[in-house]
């Protein structure tokens, strides 16, 4: 029997829910990422001690921690398929668009969860004071969308390589550099209580980056996945 209704939605959602179930059972990426984030934040917190960091350094550190924590987890959605030899199975049963969307939404959820852990810890350990919550979360959400769009496709590329874990941050960094610079600047401005006019350009750039990366990744994914 074949289901006729909404396969474009149901199929990626099926993969998305399988990814959640799979991650909760294996903790393939979750434990490593959480440990990395907590250890890094603690080390920075201890190193800084009682010194008050200025807003620019705080914003930079915030994105450094987010970037490197995510690097140890976001590629795993594809790497684990290769390592467990299930990628051929997925290629047989699912369309490339289904695989990309399912993995993209799982990575997005994973990254938001990571932020949910890191932000309170950062506030607690390093005294991050957000002055403008609306801008802060706008920058955060748009940057997350852009970062996850780019890293999902890069994860698919590195999963075919021999030195997967080393290659992922190396490949990701130059592609994510414009996003990271803008995200740091946007975060700095939101800590500084600076008005919308200063931050609007950052938000426009982050939105454009996300759209370009999402469309490019979606279009290129079939070629990468089948190779």
Partner 1 sequence: MISLQVNNLTKYFDQRKVFKDLSFIVEDNSCLVVIGKNGSGKTTLLKILAGLYSPNEGEIKYNLGGKTIKKDQTKKFLSLVAPDLNLYDELTALENLKFLSKIQSLSFGEDDLLKKIHDAGLKSRENDLVGSFSSGMKQKLKIVFALLNQPKFLLLDEPSSNLDEDGIAYLERRISEQKKRGILILATNNKKETEYGEKILSLDN
Question: What are the residues binding partner 1 (CB under 8 A)?
Answer: 1-4, 7, 10-11, 14-15, 18, 21-22, 25-26, 84-86, 88-89, 91-94, 98, 226
Q: Would you say the C-alpha torsion 186, 166, 218, 21 has a positive or negative sign?
A: negative
Name the minimum Å distance from CB 27 to partner 1: 10
CB atoms within 10 A of CB 148: 26
Our CB check for partner 1 shows the closer of 47 and 85 to be: 85
Distance CA 9, CA 98 (A): 9
Name the minimum Å distance from CB 86 to partner 1: 5
Our CB check for partner 1 shows the closer of 15 and 59 to be: 15
Our CB check for partner 1 shows the closer of 89 and 134 to be: 89
Please provide the DSSP assignment of 59-89 as one string: HHHHHHHHHHHHHTTTTHHHHHHHHTT-HHH
Name the minimum Å distance from CB 220 to partner 1: 17
Distance CA 70, CA 112 (A): 10
Name the minimum Å distance from CB 74 to partner 1: 19
Our CB check for partner 1 shows the closer of 8 and 124 to be: 8
Distance CA 178, CA 209 (A): 9
């Amino acid at each position: 029997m074949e289901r006729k209704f909404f396969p474009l939605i149901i199929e990626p959602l099926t993969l998305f829910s399988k990814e959640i179930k799979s991650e909760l059972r294996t903790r393939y990426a979750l434990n490593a990422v959480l440990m990395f984030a907590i250890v890094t934040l603690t080390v920075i917190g201890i190193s800084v001690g009682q010194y008050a960091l200025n807003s620019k350094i705080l914003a930079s550190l915030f994105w450094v921690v987010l970037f490197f924590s995510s690097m140890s987890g976001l590629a795993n959605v594809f790497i684990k398929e290769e390592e467990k030899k299930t990628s051929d199975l997925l290629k047989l049963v699912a369309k490339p668009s289904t695989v990309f969307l399912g993995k993209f939404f799982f990575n997005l959820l994973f990254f938001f969860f990571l932020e949910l852990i890191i932000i309170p810890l950062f506030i607690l350990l390093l005294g991050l004071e957000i002055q403008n919550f609306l801008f802060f979360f706008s920058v955060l959400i748009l940057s997350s969308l852009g970062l996850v769009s780019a890293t999902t496709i890069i994860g698919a590329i590195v999963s075919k390589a021999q030195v997967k874990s080393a290659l992922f941050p190396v490949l990701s960094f130059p592609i994510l550099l414009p996003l990271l610079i803008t995200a740091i600047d946007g975060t700095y401005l939101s800590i500084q209580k600076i008005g919308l006019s200063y931050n609007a350009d950052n938000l426009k750039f982050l939105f454009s980056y996300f759209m370009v990366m999402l469309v490019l990744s979606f279009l290129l994914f079939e070629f990468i996945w089948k190779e």
